[in-house]
Amino acid sequence: MENLNNNIIKNRSEILLLYDVTDANPNGDPLDENKPRIDPETDICIVTDVRLKRTCRDYWAEYKNLPVFILREISEDGKLMTKSDKFLKYNLSKDKLKEYIDIRLFGGTTTLKSKDEKRKSKSEEDSSEETGAITFTGPVQFKFGRSLHKVEYMLVKGTTVMPSGEGKDQGTFTECYILPYALIAFYGVVNENAALRQELPVTEEDVQLLLEALWCGTKNLISRSKFGQMPRLLMRVEYNQSGFYIGELDKLVKLISQKPDTAIRSPEDFHLDITRLVEKISKYQDKIQKVEIAVDYSISFVCEGKFVQLKDALSFLGDRIKLLKFE
């Protein structure tokens, strides 16, 4: 136990991720024609934390070859495997689940089959294995992402060259919903207490893999509905003590544009005001161990009415400001 605890992260971290969407659907609602999710009161685009975690999981599995538990897998009989199916197939236990990076970071709940069900596929001597449910509360939690401006979705119609079914001799009409543009902000916390309490061995290497997945995974969402998303800003604020954090970093940045919100089409149409973000970090700099940033230089930053580079605006941190570099 002592060696395990020595490897688990000790300090609280906050994460701010900004990415934009161009002519794509960042998170369709399957109960509403797969339209982008939009708050009807504010016309703000919403992206669920589940979608962001899916981005990370797919990146870890496809690009880093890491073990990921919540991943689509087909059984030998051609059916989609459940979590309990996967648990039994790989002879997993509560401790073995911790070997999956998505379980360590995001947590998860796995409902196991009953002993009677397990006896059908296992010998009687194996039926004493753990049953019920295994639950881990993820040390990494994200709020829903929200666009920093109002959006309007667009219905795009087209045709196909092939018939949709037997008895039809012409192509069919197609349609999809997209956002012409949206700049979306996600905010999250890395909770060291949750990791330690549940003996989830979340290391600094795991957190760095998370940051890489947020940036590179977003960039590599290359599918018909998702292609057109680019990371623009990633910031991690790590504190030098347990428990303390500033909170709600996403509300400390503001999009400024001379165009109407729904007419924005690219980073060239706006500036990002980071005045309040810089003020907060300056106010609590004695509690900060380091700030890591990755920036796409398509974004123009403004602080106290002047154009700045983000690194220069945080220069009071000295060597505690670190640039994240992703291949």
**What's the confidence (pLDDT) of residue 247?**
96
The answer, yes or no, to whether residue 131 has pLDDT greater than 90, is no
- Chain-centroid distance of CA 105 in Å reads 11
pLDDT at 286 over 60: yes
Question: Quick one: pLDDT band at residue 174, thresholds 50, 70, 90?
Answer: confident
Give the pLDDT of residue 165: 61
Higher pLDDT, 116 or 164: 164
pLDDT the model gives residue 84: 85
Q: State yes or no: pLDDT of 109 exceeds 60.
A: yes
Q: Which pTM does this prediction carry? A: 0.89
pLDDT at 158: 80
Residue 36: CB atoms within 10 A of its CB come to: 25
At residue 169, the pLDDT reads 61
Say what percent of the chain tops pLDDT 70. Answer: 88
Query: Picking from 106-110, 244-248, 252-256, which range would have the lowest pLDDT averaged per residue?
Result: 106-110
Is 81:73 a contact under the CB 8 Å cutoff? yes
Average pLDDT over residues 89-109: 93
Mean pLDDT for all residues in the chain? 90
Type of residue numbered 1: M
Which one has a higher pLDDT value, 182 or 170?
182
pLDDT at residue 178 is higher than 60: yes
Q: Report the pLDDT value the prediction gives residue 71, as an integer from 0 to 100.
A: 92
Residues 268 and 37 sit within 8 Å (Cβ to Cβ): no
Contacts 24+ apart (CB under 8 A), 213-216: 213/55, 213/56, 213/59, 213/60, 213/64, 214/15, 214/17, 214/52, 214/55, 214/56, 214/186, 215/17, 215/294, 215/324, 215/326, 216/59, 216/63, 216/326
CB-based contacts of 88: which residues, under 8 Å, 6+ apart? 112, 113, 118, 121
Per the document, the length of the chain is 327
Q: Give the pLDDT score at 133.
A: 84
* Tokens of residue 301, six digits: 């930053």
